[in-house]
């Protein structure tokens, strides 16, 4: 294709504008970081462009725009020595190389601000070289050099993803691996705001970037005659403006304040967001994308800082990474040709999502490998002492009077803020102390009253204790009496048992005598029967013989014998009966004795019952007295707790006041030293 002069001029002017954006990034980053690191930022922005220019010319351009291999990478060629006729350029190859060089170095310099204040200078240069030589060229080939995402139909006209997301995601990984700045986060995870050096620098940097972005987006046409340049320019400007507006509104809603830094970054978020679709959407689409990107920058920045605990001093991850990916995806929604809102279906939207995801994965994985290996080999982060001193001095031995005075001014400001906070705290403590004095006086009165109550309770407790001693004596005496009664009952029960055994023997004797009486009675009965028989025989004989009475003699003899026996038996019966009477009389006496013993045992048992009733009554009285004593002890304990709490409150107030006073004294000492240092520095001037 023939070389067109107007196209060449336009591309070169655009390249110069993008080159000037390096100054904008330098001003932005220098204003957002601490003064002690500004010289380091200047050196990083200078050298990442210088080193990036060389390595991109050496290998990067060939990897990006060389003949495609497998839709993944171009055939490399050292020093742009290969053939690039397949690109079909209407401008000299050198102009195109220069234009792509400033794009590559832009991706690298985005990482600079996110790692400011804690990465070693030469470690950063290695990172910048990697991005310019490999990171950016690989993604650029996928999307612009004939790679698989270009074949898929992905639209990223000027590099929302190819340039800005690559730099943003690399910054995210780097900030994660290296860690936050010293003092950024407290032990409880809360965030400390580390103020930048100069907000005016930040504003100037944003305006330079805004100006340069017209070349960044417009130059991507590679033609100075296409009417699309005007559309690109107006879309770029509208997106930046609405991004700033909605960032300001979102920050105001979120914090109640108009955030200057957030608003300035909101303009950049709108610019990054529209870069992918600046030639594909109309003005309405540009306004929506820019406003949403501006609002997103505020929300995402807070999330990354507070939730992910990733320290990004300049907001590079949010502005370039998050908003770059968001703007690229929105092309699938707002593109006039193929967008979801223009009856294009979801094909383009899905393609954009795939492209954004692929770039995120490639950049994060490659960057993580790079940062991890580099950190193992030579440690990416400076030492704590170097970080606290500042990289200007530790990395570049740079420290002029202005820097020192700025540090003194900043320290004075910080100390004045601390002094104000401590003064407010002291005033609050004084007010609390005043109210506490009233509370202390009231507490002293309560303590006095409580002490009197405690004294009274102690006297009452002593009296109760004496009564308890007397009750214990009564209980002891009653228990002794009960013990004696029980012993008496035991002895009487033994006597009853003994008398019962004697009565048992007498009764047994009566049983034996009764047995003998039964035997004698049987014998008398036998005699009676025999006598009756003899009498009957005598009657018969008498009737038969008449006067002849020979048999009567025999009968008479028998009757005589029987009579004698009967007489003897009667005597024996009489003796037995007398014996029974005697024994019965003995039983009666024993029974009477037993009855008396039983009555005595019953009386003893009754007496024992009375004794134990007295013991129970005394125990109840003792229990009541113990309960009263326990209640008084509880009251005494509560009063003691009141005394302890009042004392602890007084000690706490005194400690807080002492701490506040010590803080004020320490700050006064620091201010004195700063004033002394200020005088010494002024003397040098």
- Over residues 288-300, the pLDDT tens digits come to 999 999 999 999 9
3-state secondary structure of 70: coil
Which residue has better confidence, 430 or 568?
568
Which residue has better confidence, 51 or 626?
51
Q: Are residues 639 and 672 in the same domain?
A: yes
φ/ψ bin of 181: left (φ > 0), alpha (ψ from -120 to 50), beta (otherwise): beta
Q: Are residues 233 and 334 in the same domain?
A: yes
**Domain range holding 206?**
5-393
Residue 472 within a domain:
yes
Cα–Cα dist 277/630, whole Å: 85
| Predicted local distance difference test score (pLDDT) of residue 596 | 73
Q: Centre a 10 Å sphere on the Cβ of residue 251 and count the other Cβ atoms it contains.
A: 26
Cα–Cα dist 28/40, whole Å: 14
Q: Are residues 366 and 512 in the same domain?
A: no
Q: Give the HSE-up count for residue 197: Cα atoms under 13 Å, Cβ half-sphere.
A: 25
pLDDT bin (cut points 50, 70, 90) of residue 147 is: very high
Mean pLDDT of 634-650: 62
Q: Are residues 313 and 229 in the same domain?
A: yes
* 351, 331 contact by CB (below 8 A): no
Domain boundary among 393, 420, 451: 393
Cα–Cα dist 135/48, whole Å: 14
pTM of the model: 0.62
| Predicted local distance difference test score (pLDDT) of residue 191 | 95
| Predicted local distance difference test score (pLDDT) of residue 127 | 95
Residue 113 within a domain:
yes
Q: What are phi and psi of 390, to 5 degrees?
A: 105, 140
Instruction: Answer whether residue 266 shows pLDDT above 80.
Output: yes
Cα–Cα dist 250/142, whole Å: 35
Q: What is the domain-level CATH number for residue 416?
A: 1.10.287
Mean pLDDT of 376-397: 92
Residue 60 within a domain:
yes
pLDDT bin (cut points 50, 70, 90) of residue 77 is: confident
Mean pLDDT of 585-595: 62
Residue 405 within a domain:
no
Instruction: Answer whether residue 249 shows pLDDT above 50.
Output: yes
Task: Output the average pLDDT for the chain.
Answer: 82
Residue 499 CB partners (closer than 8 Å, separation 6+): 590, 593, 594, 597
Residue 384 within a domain:
yes
pLDDT bin (cut points 50, 70, 90) of residue 667 is: low
3-state secondary structure of 33: coil
Instruction: Answer whether residue 54 shows pLDDT above 70.
Output: yes
Give CA angle at 206 (405, 8), nearest 5°.
125
Maximum C-alpha span of the chain: 210
Q: Are residues 171 and 28 in the same domain?
A: yes
Give pLDDT tens digits for 463-488: 665 675 566 566 556 656 765 765 67
Cα–Cα dist 204/21, whole Å: 11
Cα–Cα dist 504/305, whole Å: 110
Q: Are residues 492 and 357 in the same domain?
A: no
Domain boundary among 333, 360, 393: 393
Highest mean pLDDT among 79-88, 502-511, 609-618: 79-88
Instruction: Answer whether residue 166 shows pLDDT above 70.
Output: yes
Q: Are residues 341 and 441 in the same domain?
A: no
Residue with tokens 């029987």: 562
Mean pLDDT of 335-355: 96
Residue 36 within a domain:
yes
Q: Are residues 501 and 607 in the same domain?
A: yes
Number of domains in the chain: 2
Residue 453 CB partners (closer than 8 Å, separation 6+): 635, 639
Q: Are residues 371 and 486 in the same domain?
A: no
| Predicted local distance difference test score (pLDDT) of residue 72 | 95
Residue 404 within a domain:
no
3-state secondary structure of 195: coil
Q: Are residues 383 and 430 in the same domain?
A: no
Residue 618 CB partners (closer than 8 Å, separation 6+): 471, 474, 475, 478
Q: Are residues 523 and 575 in the same domain?
A: yes
Q: Centre a 10 Å sphere on the Cβ of residue 590 and count the other Cβ atoms it contains.
A: 18
| Predicted local distance difference test score (pLDDT) of residue 680 | 44
Residue 11 within a domain:
yes
| Contacts made by residues 184-190, CB under 8 angstroms, sequence distance 24+ | 184/311, 185/309, 185/311, 189/309
Cα–Cα dist 370/117, whole Å: 20
| Predicted local distance difference test score (pLDDT) of residue 684 | 35
Q: Are residues 318 and 465 in the same domain?
A: no
Q: What is the domain-level CATH number for residue 134?
A: 1.10.3430.10
Give pLDDT tens digits for 177-208: 999 999 999 999 999 999 999 999 999 999 99
Mean pLDDT of 573-582: 65
Domain boundary among 366, 393, 420: 393
From 374-378, 393-397, 522-526, the region with the lowest mean pLDDT: 522-526
Mean pLDDT of 248-253: 97
């Amino acid at each position: 294709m023939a070389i067109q002069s107007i196209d060449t001029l336009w591309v070169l002017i655009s390249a110069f504008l993008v080159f000037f954006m390096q100054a904008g990034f330098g001003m932005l980053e220098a204003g957002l970081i601490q003064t002690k690191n500004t010289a380091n930022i200047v050196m990083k922005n200078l050298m990442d462009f210088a080193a990036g220019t060389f390595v991109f010319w050496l290998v990067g351009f060939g990897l990006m725009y060389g003949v495609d291999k497998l839709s993944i990478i171009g055939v490399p060629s050292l020093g742009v020595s290969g053939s690039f006729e397949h690109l079909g350029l209407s401008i000299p190859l050198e102009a195109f190389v220069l234009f792509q060089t400033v794009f590559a170095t832009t991706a690298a310099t985005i990482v600079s601000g996110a790692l400011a204040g804690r990465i070693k200078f030469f470690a950063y240069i290695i990172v910048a070289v990697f991005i310019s030589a490999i990171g950016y060229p690989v993604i650029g080939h996928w999307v612009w050099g004939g790679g698989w995402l270009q074949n898929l139909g992905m639209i990223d006209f000027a590099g929302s993803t190819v340039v800005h997301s690559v730099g943003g995601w690399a910054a995210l990984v780097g900030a994660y691996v290296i860690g936050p700045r010293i003092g950024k986060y407290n032990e409880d995870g809360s965030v400390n705001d580390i103020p930048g050096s100069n907000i005016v620098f930040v504003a100037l940097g944003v305006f330079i970037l805004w100006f340069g972005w017209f070349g960044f987006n417009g130059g991507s046409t590679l033609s100075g005659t296409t009417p699309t340049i005007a559309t690109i320019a107006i879309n770029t400007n509208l997106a930046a403006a609405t991004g700033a507006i909605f960032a300001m509104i979102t920050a105001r809603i979120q914090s109640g304040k108009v955030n200057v830094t957030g608003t300035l970054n909101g303009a950049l978020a709108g610019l990054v967001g529209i870069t992918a679709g600046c030639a594909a959407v109309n003005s309405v689409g540009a306004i929506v994308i820019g406003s949403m990107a501006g609002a997103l920058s505020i929300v995402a920045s807070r999330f990354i800082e507070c939730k992910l605990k990733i320290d990004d001093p300049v907001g590079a991850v949010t502005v370039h990474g998050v908003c770059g990916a968001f703007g690229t995806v929105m092309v699938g929604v707002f593109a006039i040709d193929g967008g979801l809102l223009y009856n294009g279906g979801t094909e383009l939207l899905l393609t954009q999502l795939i492209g954004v995801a692929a770039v995120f994965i490639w950049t994060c994985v490659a960057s993580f490998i790079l940062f991890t290996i580099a950190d193992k080999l030579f440690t990416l982060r400076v030492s704590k002492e170097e970080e606290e001193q500042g990289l200007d001095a530790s990395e570049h031995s740079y420290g002029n009077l202005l820097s020192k005075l700025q540090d003194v001014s900043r320290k004075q400001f910080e100390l004045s803020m601390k002094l104000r906070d401590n003064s407010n705290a002291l005033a609050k403590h004084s007010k609390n102390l005043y109210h506490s004095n009233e509370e202390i006086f009231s507490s002293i009165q309560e303590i006095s009253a409580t002490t009197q109550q405690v004294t009274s309770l102690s006297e009452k407790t002593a009296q109760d204790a004496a009564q308890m001693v007397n009750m214990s004596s009564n209980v002891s005496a009653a228990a002794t009496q009960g013990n004696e009664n029980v012993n008496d009952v035991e002895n009487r029960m033994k006597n009853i048992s003994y008398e019962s055994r004697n009565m048992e023997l007498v009764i047994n004797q009566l049983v034996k005598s009764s047995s003998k009486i039964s035997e004698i009675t049987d014998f008398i009965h036998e005699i009676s029967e025999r006598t009756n028989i003899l009498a009957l025989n005598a009657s018969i004989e008498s009737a038969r013989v008449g006067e002849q009475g020979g048999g009567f003699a025999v009968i008479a003899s028998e009757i005589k014998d029987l009579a004698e026996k009967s007489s003897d038996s009667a005597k024996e019966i009489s003796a037995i009966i007398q014996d029974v009477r005697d024994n019965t009389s003995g039983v009666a006496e024993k029974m009477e004795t037993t009855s008396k013993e039983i009555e005595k045992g019953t009386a003893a048992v009754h007496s024992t019952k009375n004794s134990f009733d007295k013991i129970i009554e005394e125990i109840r009285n003792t229990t009541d007295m113990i309960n009263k004593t326990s209640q008084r002890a509880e009251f005494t304990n509560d009063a003691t707790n009141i005394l302890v709490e009042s004392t602890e409150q007084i000690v706490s107030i005194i400690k807080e006041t002492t701490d506040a006073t010590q803080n004020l004294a320490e700050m006064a000492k620091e201010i004195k030293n700063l004033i002394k240092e200020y005088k010494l520095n002024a003397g040098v001037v």
